[in-house]
Amino acid sequence: MKHNIATYLRNSRIVNRFMSAPSPWWVVLAADLLVVAFSCLITFTFNREAKDPGLGLLGYPPVKGVIVLLVYSGFMALTHTSRYVVRLSVVEDMYRVVAMVSASSIVLALLSLGLIPVLGHTWMDLWNIFVIGVLSFTLMMFMRLGIKYIYRQLQGAALTRRRVIVLGSTVNSFAFASALLNEPGGTYRPVALLTLNSDINKSNINDIPLLHYSDDTIDEIFDTYRCDTLMFPGSLLKFMRTGLADKFLKHHIRLLMYGQVKEFDRDGAKPSGSVRGIHIEDLLGREVIQSDTAEVEHTLRGQVVMITGAAGSIGSEIVNQVAGMKAAEIVLVDQAETPMHELQLMMESKHPDIKIHLFIGDVANADRMEQAFMRYRPRYVFHAAAYKHVPMMERNPSEAILTNVFGTKNLADLAVKYRAEKFVMISTDKAVNPTNVMGASKRIAEIYVQSLFFHSQRSSDGNVTQFITTRFGNVLGSNGSVIPLFRRQIEQGGPVTVTHRDIIRYFMTIPEACSLVLQAGTMGRGGEIFVFDMGQPVKIYDLATRMISLSGLRPGEDIEIVETGLRPGEKLYEELLNDKEATMATRNNKIMIAKVRIYDYAEVIDHLDRLRMYTLDGEYHDIVAEMKRIVPEYMSQNSVWASIDKEISKTEVMKEVTR
């Protein structure tokens, strides 16, 4: 029977109309006037308000009733009693109804008393005026309370709202729960508050149960309240990252985050509009590295800035941040036509006052790059263009060398030739003790720009281009990264594939990575390799488990996790520093400078000449062998190039024997 009533209510158009939107103001006004008319009828009937022959028409009770209605309607308009949403506003409305009834009664009493000199008695009995006022106020408030009660009951009639528990016992948590509960056409129905504070003794707050959290009672609490969703304020996100979120996810509790009350209590915004699902990026974050934006803005304001790889994940965010620093002109260099077009549209929309130059070209094409430098004369260069996919570069080492090494060399040489002030290169943690072609190619690029800086410094008495390198871990949500891959696999129903159960990686956000690039561009004085505190590494298998749970699914049941084996050149963990390297502190305690071996520029050029020859010949074996000679710590893992390590070792042994 209960189920049938709930089904009827769910399908009723009248009920859904009532639940989805407040009634128009004129409906509330008409209802209030009917209440006043009914009060007049009851008063005149039981108090025997008879016709007064000395007043003509004004002496008839119906005419008196009309005058009462006109006075009341006037003060209803002045006090806006019909403008409040009845289901939400009992207390606020009460004040206005009291003011309206009191004012109407006073005016009617003054009118009646004012006619005594003319009539010799009152126009209308003062007692009747008082009774009409009391009855009207009482019935109006009962009507409002009744509507609110019916609304609450319909909310609880198993309609379409999702039952949720709100985390927290603060005023904000309670205010948010109340706002959700009373929201017209709302999506969520808070059934309890969950507190982490064991010192709170209350069992409920304004009829909303207050529950105490413990690891052992999570299942019991959510089963008792027939709920599978927890909402928490954004202010607790930092706390959720410490492991609390994982405790709820382990029990298959969905997590939703909401903004503070002040964030949605403006311009009539709905509280449910501030609710969003939790992304894996929210839980992998840590304290954001604070950059000195004032220093960066002072440096870049009014300058011509070139950004290579501008249409990529990192490049486009650098473009956005540089535009925010009010650079005079931004030269966007990339060879990807469609992403560049999208970037242009974004810039025209967000930064119409910034002059941008779209320059389509491959950084490996030295002549094309020189055209860009000759035409725009950039003062600051941020070099983000690179091939970054490990397995792809393992199969195509010549392309890794042409773009990552010689593309960087082209730009670095042009920066010196055209007297750029600073050149900031984006590297990777895979350049430390590289196990793959991609990481080794980035390490060679690091070696070249660093040796070029010190060579230029020794060869010139004046100012030289300052070359600075920044090493990053994995960037959350970047093109081709693991998180978008897992997200697609989950949407497709699985399986989610991980290469190894124990593989770990460092992560940071795209804005944070780009902020570090800009900070390095102002902090560096040339020759530095900047690294920074990336917090604790994340196990990729645990990442997959979290993402499945955040999707409301069960790992291993709804979505399988499958190990596929390490890919060519892939290692279980990444490093930010070579074992033989140490670091020096900077004024930002999250950013450090790696102390690395300084290569002789002439020696580097000799190696690059041989590397160019092998690349032009397409001899993959010779390319990789020369890379290993330049970067002795480059030892291939799970790769066809591992055999070269043994060849080089044997050659070195033979040299020692010959000596």
Q: Beta strands 304-308 and 380-383: pairing type? A: parallel
Q: Let me know whether 64 and 182 are in one domain.
A: no
Q: Looking at the predicted structure, is the pLDDT value of residue 536 above 90?
A: no
Q: Let me know whether 357 and 259 are in one domain.
A: no
Spatial contact of 432 and 576, defined as CB atoms under 8 Å apart: yes
Q: Phi and psi of 212, rounded to 5°? A: -100, 130
Q: Looking at the predicted structure, is the pLDDT value of residue 158 above 50?
A: no
Two tokens at 310?
């501008």
Residue 457 confidence (pLDDT): 93
Q: Looking at the predicted structure, is the pLDDT value of residue 533 above 50?
A: yes
Q: Let me know whether 30 and 142 are in one domain.
A: yes
Q: Which of 221, 245, 278 is the last residue of a domain?
A: 278
What is the arithmetic mean of pLDDT over 75-101? 71
CATH, residue 265: 3.40.50.720
Q: Looking at the predicted structure, is the pLDDT value of residue 261 above 80?
A: no
Residue at 641 is within a domain: no
What is the arithmetic mean of pLDDT over 3-15? 49
Encode pLDDT of 64-80 as tens digits: 888 888 888 888 888 87
Per the structure, the count of domains in the chain is: 3
What is the arithmetic mean of pLDDT over 280-286? 70
Residue 119 confidence (pLDDT): 61
Q: Cβ contacts of residue 277 below 8 Å, gap of 6+?
A: 255, 256, 257, 550
Q: Let me know whether 136 and 199 are in one domain.
A: no
Spatial contact of 85 and 144, defined as CB atoms under 8 Å apart: no
Q: Which of 278, 311, 333 is the last residue of a domain?
A: 278
Q: Looking at the predicted structure, is the pLDDT value of residue 520 above 90?
A: no
User: Across 117-126, 183-192, 355-364, which has the greatest mean pLDDT?
Assistant: 355-364
Q: Looking at the predicted structure, is the pLDDT value of residue 435 above 50?
A: yes
Read out DSSP for 55-82?
GGGGGSHHHHHHHHHHHHHHHHHHHTTT
Q: Let me know whether 366 and 245 are in one domain.
A: no
Q: Looking at the predicted structure, is the pLDDT value of residue 206 above 80?
A: no
Q: Residues 69-91, buried b or exposed e (16+ Cβ, 10 A)? A: bebbbebbeebebbebbbbbbee
Structural element, H or E, at residue 169: none
Spatial contact of 344 and 358, defined as CB atoms under 8 Å apart: yes
Encode pLDDT of 457-469 as tens digits: 998 888 899 999 9
Residue 178 confidence (pLDDT): 77
Higher-confidence residue of 393 and 24: namely: 393
- Residue ranges with strand state E in 168-302: 188-195, 204-205, 208-212, 229-233, 254-258, 275-277
Q: What share of the chain is helix, strand, coil (3-state, %, to 5)?
A: 55, 15, 30
Q: Which residues are catalytic?
A: 430
Residue with tokens 């990729």: 540
C-alpha angle 276-318-324 in degrees, rounded to nearest 5: 80
Spatial contact of 312 and 479, defined as CB atoms under 8 Å apart: yes
User: Across 10-14, 396-400, 500-504, 528-532, which has the greatest mean pLDDT?
Assistant: 396-400
Q: Let me know whether 348 and 228 are in one domain.
A: no
Residue 472 confidence (pLDDT): 76
Q: Let me know whether 374 and 513 are in one domain.
A: yes
Higher-confidence residue of 208 and 422: namely: 422
Q: Let me know whether 191 and 265 are in one domain.
A: yes
- Model confidence at 654, in pLDDT bands (50, 70, 90)? very low
- Measure the CA–CA gap between 569 and 567, rounded to whole angstroms: 6
Range of weakest confidence among 52-61, 174-183, 270-279, 512-521? 52-61
Q: Looking at the predicted structure, is the pLDDT value of residue 412 above 50?
A: yes
Residue 513 confidence (pLDDT): 81
Which residues are 357's β-sheet partners?
331
Q: Let me know whether 330 and 453 are in one domain.
A: yes
- Mapped onto helix, strand or coil, the DSSP state of residue 624 is helix
Encode pLDDT of 342-385 as tens digits: 999 999 999 998 999 999 999 999 999 999 999 999 999 999 99
Q: Let me know whether 261 and 405 are in one domain.
A: no
Q: Let me know whether 18 and 44 are in one domain.
A: yes
Spatial contact of 287 and 308, defined as CB atoms under 8 Å apart: no
Give start and end residues of each alpha helix (H) in 255-407: 261-264, 280-284, 293-300, 313-324, 337-350, 366-376, 390-395, 397-400
Q: Let me know whether 457 and 340 are in one domain.
A: yes
User: What range does the domain containing 437 cover?
Assistant: 297-475+509-534+578-621
